[in-house]
Amino acid sequence: MYDQGDLKNAARLFWVLELYGIKNIAILNGGIDAWSEHYPLTKKITTAQPSQYFPVLNPSVYASTTVAKVAAYSDLYQLYDSRTLAEFMGERSATKKFGHIPTAKNIQNSVFFNTTTEGTKILKSPKQLESIFATLDKSRKSVTYCNKGRASTLTYFLMKQAGFKVSHYDGSWLDWSEKGLPIEK
């Protein structure tokens, strides 16, 4: 999968496909822009081939509101909020509620990228990503969230690649704040 380069849409599709039991999937680092810098693009129309695929939900990648509630108060879990620092701190919000889910840690998507000399965002090297994730607790189950459940799928994808036991709270902040659940600032 690929997108325009910030990988939010590609990561979202990655998570959805994993949720529906697809296993052999990958994301093109840097998106279509990085690819087109080095390889020619085609306008050739491709046709999907028939398959015998039968969807089987993979519950291990999905965190419900109940799982998010448990994660907020259990030492077995760690929540990761992929919203901006201003949203996490309660200075701005996409909803009428300001703050974050209790005990969550903020990890913004921008920390995962370098910018090429051409101005294209590209994921940091595995070694650079490893140093980011080295500060996080791999022994706990991780749950990612953001505002709508799109941006945090990149955090989900990268944590999964780094060997974390991770799931994604698809309802994210919109669901949490709409239900009037506890909030920290």
3-state secondary structure 75-104: CCEEEEECCCHHHHHCCCCCCCCCCECCCC
Check pLDDT > 80 for residue 30.
no
Helix 152-161 with 8-19: angle, nearest 10 deg: 70
Lowest model confidence (mean pLDDT) among 49-53, 75-79, 86-90, 155-159: 49-53
pTM of the model: 0.91
Q: What is the pLDDT of residues 162-183, one digit of tens each?
A: 999 999 999 999 999 999 999 9
**Strand 121-123 with 113-115, pairing:** antiparallel
The gap from C-alpha 1 to its chain's centroid, in whole angstroms, comes to 15
Question: For residue 5, what pLDDT band results from cuts at 50, 70 and 90?
Answer: confident
Q: What pLDDT sits at residue 136?
A: 94
State residue 62's pLDDT score.
Answer: 97
Q: Does residue 103 have a pLDDT over 80?
A: yes
| DSSP per position, 145-160 | E-SSSSTHHHHHHHHH
pLDDT for res 4 = 80
Vertex 68, ends 63 and 69: CA angle to 5°? 145
What integer is the mean pLDDT of 9-22? 95
Taking only the tens place, the pLDDT of each residue in 106-158 is: 999 999 999 888 777 789 999 999 999 999 999 999 999 999 999 999 999 99
